[in-house]
A and B are shown apart, each in its own frame.
Chain A
Amino acid sequence: MRKLLTVALTVTLLAGCAKEENVIKIGEYGGLTGSTATFGISTKNGIDMATEELNAAGGLLNKRVEIIVEDDRCLAEEAASAVKKLITQDKVVAMLGEVASSRSLAGAPICQENKIPMITPSSTNPKVTEVGDYIFRICFIDPFQGEAMAKFAYNNLGLRKAAILKDSKNDYSVGLAQFFAETFKGLGGQIVAEESYFEGDQDFKAQLTSIKGKKPETIFIPGYYTEVGLIARQARELGIPASLMGGDGWDSPKLAEIATIKKPGDALKDCYFSNHYASDDPNPIIQSFIQKYKAKYNEVPDAMAVLGYDVANILFDAMKRAGSTEGSKIRDALAQTTNFPGVAGSTTIDSARNARKPLVVLKIAEGGAYQYVATVNP
């Protein structure tokens, strides 16, 4: 019996080894559960779709690509341990993630230390890629996003008095608020109030009441969709008529559900936010992606899904050009990415390992649907 067991065990181990050789393992960390779960889920959907297409077309370097996903439950400390596990236990050759800048900042130093190239699809805080030469991103950064929204508010909407309500524990939110305020004041506008909250708060009425007293024409809320939805509801409840504005953290299929007074999304009607792509853009690349995505997941992809799809393809492209799974070679190939035709626009990685890409301003219309308003080029 024991002999049989040993044989069985050896065979399994050998089979395991044989299988290993034909697989390239890539790590992905993201929040699949928790306060901003739709970010992680959408990103994963996009990455999965790109990986399936790649494997169906014969894989990469004659091997199959396997994405190993770790859920960090939307917590920065969990993100660090997820990345550690992916690198030390699963021995991944490259890392995809995170969406939220605070979590990317927790994972990036570990990737840098182990010389594992990491690409974030949608962390916009400048500090993320400043961690080191193995950390890349394929989206615009917050100075650009904050500046674009401030200019949009001042020039296109003709607003002069803005208030800010930011998440003071979140790198993304603090950075975006700062860049918005600097540009808005530089243009001649006035920041009449600056209040803060913490992710996970339920009650924002105290801050909103003191903002209301200063009579702003718009409130800039650079937060994530859960809090933004709750803030919008409470702002309307307190009778604040001001238009609300924000950044790409607003984009989620859940946003309209949360910001509901009577009909979905009515608390955010006629509010504006900046995003990576517009689903009503007639561009055939975008429309054919939306169709493929809808057929698979039965919903319109949000920006996180699009960037998830793009980030995986950009990594595959770099690995193909590198012809190797060695960290330093993938890194060099990634740094040379030029005019990669992604769904969310053509992507070129600059010397600071950031992507220069246009952003779109979206308006929230009746029923919580997004309407394309403007494109801002860097």
Chain B
Amino acid sequence: MQEFLQQLVNGISWGAIYALIALGYTMVYGVLQLINFAHGDVFMLGAFFGYFFSRWTKIAQEPTLFGFFATLLFAMVACALVGMIIERAAYKPLRLRPRLTVLITAIGVSLLLENGGQLIFGADPKFFPSLVAETKLYESPTLVISNLPMIILAVSLVLMILLRFIVMNTKIGKAMRAVAFNREAASLMGVNTNNVISFTFALGSALAGAGGILVALTYPKIDPLMGLLPGLKAFVAAVLGGIGNIPGAVLGGMILGVSETMVAGYISSTFRDAIAFALLVVILLVKPTGLLGSRVGEKV
């Protein structure tokens, strides 16, 4: 039972990362009906931006809490810019083309970032500096809670609440929802759809960048292909929760993280991915729109 609690803690902190990446997928899908396959690679870029920033500013040598947040902020801003550039350069010229064309372009951008990353950063893994020293917050013989998973969880939750606030309570959030509902009608009402779409990409990419830093904190091995599997899993999480739905992405991420940890802990790590994907199939069989997804049918 005690071991179960520990596994739950492990699973939730792992799930929070999926949730953070899944949010970016879901937002872009909600607004553009585009699955941005390059999203996982923006996550990778976030980790690398943080790596170079913390070394360059010497934060890596003498880590402080302020240094950690500065690195986090830098990675988020840099990723937001990258997200906007990707959208402007790769997706905007194709906005009126069939959705399949854009999807294939997204795969192309993903490959460009992965292989470009190997060219620029090198293919061998780098090791992210320990920006936050690990300490135990709670310790009993059977349950140990260290500060790192709690930081991941806390930062993720703050960012998710912030995101929810932006989408639900601000003018640009209202515009995002309007574009998501009907792009043409929104533009007829005077919403600058191009800016809204850029903003959506910036927001989603900033979250992916934050995810990159948070992952690198506990899992310090970073390499140009590190975004591949988490990106795929986060996409699964987004679909699981109902793609286009923000609370759904969080729920999906948590379910995936916890179930993966439970499978690895109680059955076998060999089945880790298999069972995670089997879960997706079962949920989609029962509820094809995902857990919290509601929209049925194509909108016109």
Contact = CB atoms under 8 A, between A and B. Distances in A.
Interface in B95-112: none
Nearest to B146: A237
A258 B220 contact: yes
Given A202-B215, A206-B269, A237-B148, A33 B3 contact: no
A261 B220 contact: no
Contacts of A34: 123-124
B270 A230 contact: no
Nearest to B223: A35
B268 interface: yes
Contacts, number: 89
Given A168-B270, A237-B146, A261 B133 contact: yes
B144 to A, nearest CB: 4
A240 to B, nearest CB: 9
Interface size class, chain B:
35 or more
A239 B262 CA distance: 19
A192 B288 CA distance: 43
A196 B270 contact: yes
Contacts of B10: 203, 205-206, 209
Contacts of B265: 206-207, 209-210
Interface of A: 33-35, 37, 73, 168, 195-198, 201-203, 205-207, 209-210, 212-213, 226, 230, 233-234, 236-239, 254, 257-258, 260-262
Given A207-B265, A213-B142, A262-B134, 20 more contacts: A35-B124, A35-B125, A35-B223, A73-B123, A168-B269, A197-B269, A206-B260, A206-B269, A207-B264, A207-B269, A209-B265, A210-B266, A213-B3, A226-B125, A237-B148, A238-B6, A239-B139, A258-B127, A260-B130, A261-B134
29 contacts: A33-B122, A33-B124, A73-B123, A195-B269, A197-B269, A198-B269, A203-B10, A203-B219, A203-B261, A206-B7, A206-B10, A206-B11, A206-B265, A206-B269, A209-B3, A209-B6, A209-B7, A209-B265, A210-B265, A226-B221, A236-B134, A237-B144, A239-B144, A254-B127, A260-B130, A261-B133, A261-B134, A262-B133, A262-B134
Interface of B: 3, 6-7, 10-11, 14, 122-125, 127, 130, 133-134, 136, 139, 142, 144, 146, 148, 215, 218-221, 223, 226, 260-266, 268-270
